[in-house]
Amino acid sequence: MELNREHFRAIIYYNFQRQLSQQECLAELLSENVDAVRKLIIEERHVTYREIEAKLVSRWIPHLLTEEQKAARVNWCQKTLDRFNFGNSKNVYSIVSGDESCDEKPTKLVRSRSVSKKMVATFVSKAGHIATIPLNEQRTVTADWYTTICLSKVITELRKINPERRIILHQDNASWHTAQKTRQYLTEENVELLDHPPYSPDLSPNDLFYFTSPKIKNRLRGQRFQSPEEAWNKCFENWIERMQMLI
């Protein structure tokens, strides 16, 4: 049976009631769409898990949302493009994109496929990577850890270079991102918070980089870059292109 939009909505609602995380919900959806995964593998034998995830997410997002939610995404894209002059404004360099994910590293065991997983928060800008902070002593991400460890480190590093630097933080709507403690901390540090539309992992430069990185590599194959910063610069260009495409 081919799953349609209503089926996906029912699966998501059921997983929400089970209190699954976004990553766990995505894994469930992937398992439900085995035929789509099989088709991608047949089309391209060397496809990676990240590429499969990117293609399926890009397919699902438009179909899982209501018309009102789609309109909110489009309005946000138009507002953001206008504000940053379609990427031509120097204020794009003020944007700091942050997100958390599992950093998977192979274990040192010889011939073992097992990996060690650690939650990390990564912050990047158009000029390049800023910081990656691991979740060491805690089991879950909290607003306290996010503000006192992550944001504190990022803001300190940026203002060591330029004390007057303007910082526009772009993050998704995770509970620790939207907590009162986090908002209060950003206000005290004079950091502007760029809003983010719900249900839109494809509209964050940080997430978009991982969704599209295989495409970036293919597009830029054969070109030489002086530094990793050029790859992040390209990522923010793709972010602008993504917003234009959605509109």
- 60-119: per-residue pLDDT in tens? 566 667 788 889 999 999 999 999 999 999 999 999 999 887 665 443 433 444 445 578
Please report which confidence band the pLDDT of residue 221 belongs to, taking 50, 70 and 90 as the band edges.
Answer: very low
Residue for token pair 């050029």: 230
Please report which confidence band the pLDDT of residue 3 belongs to, taking 50, 70 and 90 as the band edges.
Answer: low
Please report which confidence band the pLDDT of residue 220 belongs to, taking 50, 70 and 90 as the band edges.
Answer: very low
CA separation for the pair 22, 112 (Å, rounded): 28
CB atoms within 10 A of CB 17: 8
CA separation for the pair 134, 122 (Å, rounded): 9
The listed range with the strongest mean pLDDT (4-13, 165-174, 195-204, 208-217) is 165-174
The pLDDT tens digits of the residues spanning 133-182 come to: 988 876 788 999 999 999 999 999 999 999 999 999 999 888 899 999 99
CA separation for the pair 215, 236 (Å, rounded): 14
Q: What average pLDDT does the chain have?
A: 76
Least Cα distance to 98 among 198, 51, 167 occurs for: 167
What CATH number has the domain spanning 68-246?
A: 3.30.420.10
The listed range with the strongest mean pLDDT (17-21, 27-31, 218-222) is 17-21
- What's the pTM? 0.69
CA separation for the pair 170, 96 (Å, rounded): 6
Q: Report pLDDT for 135.
A: 85
CB atoms within 10 A of CB 5: 13
Residue intervals of the chain classified under CATH 3.30.420.10 are: 68-246
